[in-house]
């Protein structure tokens, strides 16, 4: 429960951005989607999720809009902004480079 301590600090941002890049999504949906996509490995608790969403919104990488949820309730939907998309691309590239490098080190030993 709580923060995904397994995650490298800062990766939560990328995960959220990646998730909302596909389609606008509310906080609950984002948490569910990250869990599903990672085969239940990554559990994002609301204690980390919502502050992160508000921070990303303040930074202008995602924007929020109120909409109807699947079961007809008002929900806050987040979607990626253009700046956010750019930031995501940068972060993704950096991540692949980093994980590639780590793989290399691990294989070598």
Query: Which residue, 65 or 97, is less far from other proteins as judged by CB?
Result: 65
Residues 6-65 that bind other proteins (CB under 8 A): 26-28, 46-47, 50-51, 54-55, 57-61, 63
Q: For residue 17, how many other CB atoms are within 10 A of its CB? A: 22
Three-state SS for 59-94 is CCCEEEEEEECCCCCEEEEEEECHHHHHHHHHHHHH
DSSP 34: H
Residue 1 is a binding residue for other proteins (CB under 8 A): yes
Residue 83 is a binding residue for other proteins (CB under 8 A): yes
Residue 5 is a binding residue for other proteins (CB under 8 A): no
15/36 Cα distance (integer angstroms):
12
Query: Which residue, 5 or 109, is less far from other proteins as judged by CB?
Result: 5
Would the CA dihedral through 50, 52, 58, 64 be positive or negative? negative
Residue 89 is a binding residue for other proteins (CB under 8 A): no
Residues that bind other proteins (CB under 8 A): 1, 26-28, 46-47, 50-51, 54-55, 57-61, 63, 66, 69, 71, 73-76, 81, 83
């Amino acid at each position: 429960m709580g923060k995904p301590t397994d995650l490298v600090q800062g990766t939560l941002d990328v995960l959220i951005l990646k998730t909302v890049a596909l389609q606008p999504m509310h906080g609950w949906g984002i948490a569910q989607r990250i869990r599903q996509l990672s085969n239940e490995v990554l559990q994002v608790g609301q204690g980390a999720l919502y502050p992160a969403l508000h921070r990303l919104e303040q930074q202008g990488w995602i924007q929020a809009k109120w909409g109807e949820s699947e079961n007809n309730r008002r929900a806050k939907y987040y979607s990626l902004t253009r700046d956010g998309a750019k930031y995501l691309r940068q972060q993704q590239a950096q991540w692949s480079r980093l994980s590639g490098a780590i793989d290399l080190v691990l294989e070598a030993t």
